Amino acid sequence: GQSLEQPSEVTAVEGAIVQINCTYQTSGFYGLSWYQQHDGGAPTFLSYNALDGLEETGRFSSFLSRSDSYGYLLLQELQMKDSASYFCAVRSPDRGSTLGRLYFGRGTQLTVWP
């Protein structure tokens, strides 16, 4: 089976740095994605790591270690608008599909305080 673990809640103040960890156990692995979801909204794609290392996109960075089955999302210079749920998702092989499918974690609720 597939399982992903991430903290349920994280709080921080504006301007701070926050790291949201994700560990996974999956049968087969293509890559790790991160999505942001505001209340009542659609998940928005943030990043995708297929190889080990750090990917930086503006204030957000994502890291992957395949040997440790571990990744994290790093959010810098936090802003109030970053308050949202953040989901890690593993792309794993799926029957009949060369691109696999996504398995989502339970999400981490980030609250940014002024």
Partner 1 sequence: GAVVSQHPSRVICKSGTSVKIECRSLDFQATTMFWYRQFPKKSLMLMATSNEGSKATYEQGVEKDKFLINHASLTLSTLTVTSAHPEDSSFYICSARTRGLAGGPGHNEQFFGPGTRLTVL
From 13, 16, 41, 77, residue interacting with partner 1 (rule: CB under 8 A): 41
Least distance (Å) between residue 15 CB and partner 1:
27
Q: Which of residues 44-73 bind partner 1 (CB under 8 A)?
A: 44-45, 48, 50
Q: Is residue 3 involved in binding partner 1 (CB under 8 A)?
A: no
Least distance (Å) between residue 107 CB and partner 1:
6
Calculate the alpha carbon distances from 78 to 16, 19, 38, 43, 96 in Å: 5, 11, 15, 19, 41
Cβ-based nearer residue to partner 1, 28 or 41: 41
Contact criterion met (CB below 8 Å) for 67 and 13: no
Matching residue, tokens 């890690």:
88
From 27, 42, 81, 114, residue interacting with partner 1 (rule: CB under 8 A): 42
**Residues paired with 13 in a beta bridge:** 113
Least distance (Å) between residue 77 CB and partner 1:
22
Which residues of this protein are in contact with partner 1, per CB under 8 A? 30-31, 35, 40-45, 48, 50, 87, 91, 94-97, 99, 101-107, 109
